[in-house]
Chain A
């Protein structure tokens, strides 16, 4: 049973790794680099925190 579990672990690892690589390729080809890297630190804080006490 443990040996079968070990092979199942290899199988699951390979399938999920391939899925992530496929999804990565799909996202990078469907979206521009500007959109993907558009996150900015502190945007919500700039809106919600005025720091007037």
Chain B
């Protein structure tokens, strides 16, 4: 309480201004990042087995892990320096320019809103599958998920991310419990990896199957970059953001490895690649009702945590666009009591509900992944420009990532491979999405940008970039 009051004082400028509240620590950053992502272990990653077999799912687990480790390192460096709501949007605005920033903000809003929609559909479908009642539909559960979480986000960021921390931790611990319950050190007792993954069926479609598996391998870690949206609400961005993001990435690498090992040792790849509930199914296959129910609850909690974090992040990105007048400034309102971007939260609520009621899970997931990969491609270019314009030593950085420019090159190359993989499975959606961003960019350039106060949008007290 004392901390909250102190921060209220420090973030209210001149007494008649309201801004977001700086109350978060590294644990909240971890809860935001891992909370958004962990649902990918409960569903999503396993479709990579359908594309390329069980071994392909493991290969992409590590290779895509490399992609996201690069994302986490690059993000930590830039965000610990550009600590503002909007995350990658604020980075793009200062480092690349307004048009890139506008596009990045839309990538963010689409990626998180579509992921929120996917989470709500998953939660509704999981409850309906468990109930087994004829005539019961998922709509009421979808509505409750989106509205209750929007209400939580409306009421304050601290409670929102405290809840996320608890439910994410329970979901994570359930994976650990499952892992140790099946005697992972002994093959043959419960796990049968030697029988299920053989040299004959490990890569049923060869190496092209591994490339195709990238599309769903993204699900092991999709959303960890969402930690940066909390930049304006953490007490110490330079310390909390790198700690929270890197700890989150380590947590997810461990969870992904355990999930693959247990699921690939219990289910043949033909089934693993099509089920919507790989971990819940793994719980059932152990024969333990306790594990089955634990994994059912954990699937629901992971979906809730992800949707909760997505509402938080999408609203911050939308709010930032309004604050810079890239969209009407009406969206930049902050609630005077709860200190949240309440109009952005409310505006995105019916949009999420509409998509959740009319879209199917595959479409929503594909739009989310596409927007995410577009954003990662930007990040690889962004960090190269950041280091060139403001070399080490010219401005203070909270964190400096090692081996530059290797992570940026690795990230860019893996994004190209992922685009190719998405094109193989969802070519028309990829083209439609790129056409949408092209048209909206024209609208921004020729119409909307005239409303922007050009001098006000660049807020970081940095020296002039090199070469300018």
Min CB distance B212 to A, Å, is 38
Chain A residues with CB under 8 Å of B131's CB are 2
In the complex with contacts A2-B133, A7-B140, A38-B147 CB distance below 8 A: no
Could you tell me the distance in whole angstroms from the C-beta of A45 to the nearest C-beta in chain B?
A: 6
Cα separation A35 to B13 with both chains bound (whole Å): 11
**A37 in contact with B19 given A12-B148, A20-B150 (CB within 8 Å):** no
Kindly report which residue of chain A lies nearest to residue B86, judged by CB atoms. A41
**CB atoms of A41 and B324 under 8 A apart:** yes
Asked, given contacts A38-B18, A42-B84, whether A12 binds B144 with beta carbons under 8 Å apart, the answer is yes
Q: Across the interface, do A42 and B148 meet the contact criterion of CB distance under 8 Å? A: no
Main secondary structure of the interface of A (DSSP, over half): helix
Query: Which of B83, B333, B346, B393 has a CB less than 8 Å from the CB of A36?
Result: B333
B22, B147, B335 — most chain A CB neighbours (10 Å) = B147
How many residues of chain A have a CB within 8 Å of chain B? Answer: 35
Residues of B within 8 A of A24 (CB): 342-343, 346
Contact with A along B59-92 (1 / 0, CB 8 A): 0000000000000000000000001111000100
For chain B, the bracket of interface size reads 35 or more
Query: Judging by beta carbons under 8 Å apart, are B18 and A36 in contact?
Result: yes
Q: Is there contact, CB below 8 Å, between B136 and A3?
A: yes
* Complex alpha-carbon distance, A9 and B337, angstroms: 27
Is B329 positioned at the interface, with any CB of A under 8 Å from its CB? Answer: yes
Instruction: Tell me if B461 and A51 are in contact (CB < 8 A).
Output: yes
Measured CA separation A38–B22 after assembly (Å): 16
Q: Which of B17, B147, B342 has a CB less than 8 Å from the CB of A16? A: B147
B95 touches A (CB below 8 Å) = no
Complex-state Cα separation, A24 to B333, whole angstroms: 11
Query: Considering the chains assembled together, what is the distance between the CA atoms of A36 and B338 in angstroms?
Result: 12
* Complex interface: chain B residues within 8 A of A3 (CB): 133, 136
Give B386 Cβ to nearest chain A Cβ, in Å: 14
What 9 A-B pairs come out closest when comparing CB atoms? A42-B459, A9-B144, A2-B131, A38-B17, A36-B333, A9-B140, A13-B147, A39-B19, A6-B140
Binding site for B on A (CB under 8 A): 2-3, 5-7, 9-10, 12-13, 16-17, 19-21, 23-24, 27, 31, 33, 35-46, 49-51, 53
Which residues on B are within 8 Å of A, measured CB to CB? 10-11, 13, 16-20, 22, 83-86, 90, 127, 131, 133, 136-137, 140-141, 143-144, 147-148, 150-151, 154, 232, 320, 322-324, 329-330, 332-337, 342-343, 346, 349, 393-396, 459-463
Question: With A10-B143, A27-B342 given, can you name 15 additional A-B contacts, CB distance below 8 Å?
Answer: A5-B127, A9-B143, A9-B144, A12-B144, A13-B148, A37-B323, A39-B20, A39-B334, A41-B232, A41-B324, A43-B13, A46-B459, A46-B461, A50-B461, A51-B462
